[in-house]
Amino acid sequence: MPQPLLTLTTRLPNTHRRILLSLLLLSLMILFWPTSSKPEKPLLTLMPVLLSASWAQLEPEHGWQLQVQQWQLVLFPEPEPEVDESLSHYAIQSGDSLSRIFSRHGFSQQQLHQIMAADQSLLALDVLRPGHTLTFQRDEHNELLSMELFIHAGNRVLFQREADGEFSYQELLDEGEWYSQTLVGEIHGSFYLSAQRAGLNDAEIATVSQLFRDRVNFSRDIQAGARFQVVRSDNYVGEEATGQSRIEGIRLFNRRQQLTAFLHDNGQYYDAEGNSLQRAFMRIPLQREFRISSAFNPRRLHPVTRRVSPHNGTDFATPTGTPVLAAADGVVIRVENHPFAGRYIEIQHHGQYKTRYLHLDRALVRNGQRVERGQRIALSGATGRVTGPHLHYELHVNNRPVNPMTANIPLAQPIPDEGRDAFFEKVAFMIRQMDEETLLAQQR
Ligand SMILES: [Zn+2]
């Protein structure tokens, strides 16, 4: 690359070079010297861009760029953050309960109850895990004014005290970006261990084996040395990984068979020919139809407070003891007790689907268990705050509740015409990525 200034300076005698560069530095300083007495924030953010542009001609090894950056820090220091006495942060430890955290912070059990009431339709506070943080804000009487739950960079929930003393919630979601990587490997011993060695986590391995379950028996039919290729993407908000991941595509070469699965934009998996790999979802997670006693309504008003209190599911008037069925294949990710939602179960399905079953009398599955479509998972009941026995059923797509009675659910049909071409383009692209990565791995 031509570097005229550098070439010029290296040809000059040392003294001249120093003078020339000092002049350059001086003019840069004048150029960026703040015009007002108070350095404005936009200037601070603008400067590194301008600097790097004007210094791009020079080799960074000369260290001047670094020096200018240091001067810049001295000249325009970042303002000291103001300490807000009313705020306190708490990092969740393993085994923590919200009740214990509240009493340690001097908040009343009544306020805990109000927060739990606000969380009834979200159920975000039931699964506090190490890595999550809580930020509390107090009022002048040391009582809770607001609480923010930080789950990951793309998911925060803000609970705020309203004028009537009750809490409202606001979910702050940021979809962020997905970055993919290709993982390849061979199966020696169990598929589970081989996939784990290649870098897949438990949920991803469960997805793969459930997607191919009807086509291959992983414990019996896999030949030693069978190859697999996986495109997995990880979610980032800014620079921060949110810990969410998903399988975009997989190919498995076993004996003379090639198994494929690719994730479409509609959240469902199809093979490379566009055939559905998912069994149809059940529209209603019950053996027969029951009267709908309350419909899905994201803008329902609370009868007393008149505040928006969304009804994120469909209520079926089931008498206590009615068998509740898993709407589709998946893994149980929660079996919890909540003062308002009662005993409830959450299932993670393939792609971007989740289902919840509330106010249960009894759960018949445990956390982490794999379940099949139509499997009995619970008996309905009237636990939590209810006016009578019923099943409250929720369907979430991409972490957002949708109307379970009208939403597009996997129907085990070939890929729809809409988005079909884009799907096959994506598949071709992923297959190239997979083959390249396999070649690279073989050369290592
Ligand atoms: Zn309900």
pLDDT digit string, tens, across residues 216-225: 888 888 999 9
Region 361-365 average pLDDT? 98
Q: Could you tell me what percent of the chain has a pLDDT over 70?
A: 81
Centre of ligand 1 to C-alpha 13, Å, is 83
Bridge partners (DSSP) of residue 245 are 234
Type of residue numbered 409: I
pLDDT class of 252 with cuts at 50, 70, 90: very high
Helices 14-32 and 41-55: crossing angle, nearest 10°?
150
C-beta separation of 344 from 358 below 8 A? yes
Centre of ligand 1 to C-alpha 44, Å, is 51
Centre of ligand 1 to C-alpha 197, Å, is 43
Centre of ligand 1 to C-alpha 244, Å, is 28
Centre of ligand 1 to C-alpha 341, Å, is 9
- Please indicate whether residue 362 or residue 49 has the higher confidence score (pLDDT): 362
pLDDT class of 105 with cuts at 50, 70, 90: very high
What average pLDDT is seen over the chain? 85
Centre of ligand 1 to C-alpha 389, Å, is 11
DSSP 397: E
Residue 351 has a pLDDT of 76
Region of 368 (left: φ > 0; alpha: ψ -120 to 50; beta: rest) is left
CA atoms within 13 A on the CB side of 345: 32
Region 118-139 average pLDDT? 92
Region 364-373 average pLDDT? 94
Q: Is 379 a residue whose pLDDT tops 70?
A: yes
C-beta separation of 186 from 226 below 8 A? yes
pTM for the model stands at 0.74
* C-alpha 176, offset from chain centre: 9
Length of the chain: 444
C-beta separation of 304 from 165 below 8 A? no
Q: Is 8 a residue whose pLDDT tops 50?
A: no
pLDDT digits (tens, 9 = 90+) for 193-212: 999 999 999 888 988 988 89
Type of residue numbered 62: H
Q: Could you tell me what percent of the chain has a pLDDT over 90?
A: 62
Alpha-carbon gap, residue 106 to 383, rounded angstroms = 29
Residue 197 has a pLDDT of 94
Centre of ligand 1 to C-alpha 154, Å, is 27
Q: Is 80 a residue whose pLDDT tops 90?
A: no
Residue 233 has a pLDDT of 94
Strand, helix or coil for residue 205: helix
Q: Is 16 a residue whose pLDDT tops 90?
A: no
Centre of ligand 1 to C-alpha 294, Å, is 6
Residue 33 has a pLDDT of 57
Centre of ligand 1 to C-alpha 311, Å, is 6
Alpha-carbon gap, residue 203 to 180, rounded angstroms = 17
Centre of ligand 1 to C-alpha 392, Å, is 4
* Bridge-based pairing state of the strands 342-348 and 144-152: unpaired
Closest CA to 270 of 413, 151, 136: 413
Centre of ligand 1 to C-alpha 357, Å, is 10
Centre of ligand 1 to C-alpha 163, Å, is 26
Phi, psi (rounded to 5 degrees) for 57: -70, -25
Residue 50 has a pLDDT of 37
Centre of ligand 1 to C-alpha 279, Å, is 26
Centre of ligand 1 to C-alpha 314, Å, is 6
pLDDT digits (tens, 9 = 90+) for 17-55: 676 666 666 666 655 555 444 443 333 333 333 333 333
Closest CA to 278 of 215, 233, 222: 215
Closest CA to 139 of 164, 166, 107, 98: 107
Centre of ligand 1 to C-alpha 76, Å, is 56
Centre of ligand 1 to C-alpha 310, Å, is 10
Residue 54 has a pLDDT of 39
Alpha-carbon gap, residue 326 to 45, rounded angstroms = 52
Centre of ligand 1 to C-alpha 369, Å, is 25
Residue 148 has a pLDDT of 97
Centre of ligand 1 to C-alpha 309, Å, is 11
- Could you tell me the CA-to-CA distances from 139 to 105, 107, 252, 429 in Å, in that order? 13, 11, 58, 55
Phi, psi (rounded to 5 degrees) for 402: -130, 165
Q: Is 442 a residue whose pLDDT tops 90?
A: no
What structural domains and CATH numbers belong to the chain? 4-30+39-75 (no CATH), 87-173 (3.10.450.350), 178-278+419-443 (3.10.450.350), 292-402 (2.70.70.10)
Tokens of 6: 């550098």
- Could you tell me the CA-to-CA distances from 246 to 207, 220, 334 in Å, in that order? 9, 27, 19
pLDDT class of 63 with cuts at 50, 70, 90: low
Alpha-carbon gap, residue 345 to 367, rounded angstroms = 9
Closest CA to 254 of 191, 182, 211, 202: 191
Where is 434: in which H helix or E strand? Answer: helix 420-443
- Please indicate whether residue 386 or residue 37 has the higher confidence score (pLDDT): 386
Centre of ligand 1 to C-alpha 127, Å, is 20
Residue 411 has a pLDDT of 82
Residues with C-beta atoms within 5 A of ion ligand 1: 315, 392
Q: What is the CA radius of gyration of the chain?
A: 29
C-beta separation of 24 from 12 below 8 A? no
Q: Concatenated DSSP letters for 356-377?
A: EEEEEEEE-S-TT-EE-TT-EE
Q: Concatenated DSSP letters for 238-292?
A: TTEEEEEEEEEEEEEEETTEEEEEEE-TTS-EE-TTS-B-SPPPPSSSSSS---E
Region 66-76 average pLDDT? 68
Centre of ligand 1 to C-alpha 69, Å, is 58
Centre of ligand 1 to C-alpha 183, Å, is 42
Alpha-carbon gap, residue 206 to 229, rounded angstroms = 16
Centre of ligand 1 to C-alpha 113, Å, is 19
Q: Is 325 a residue whose pLDDT tops 80?
A: yes
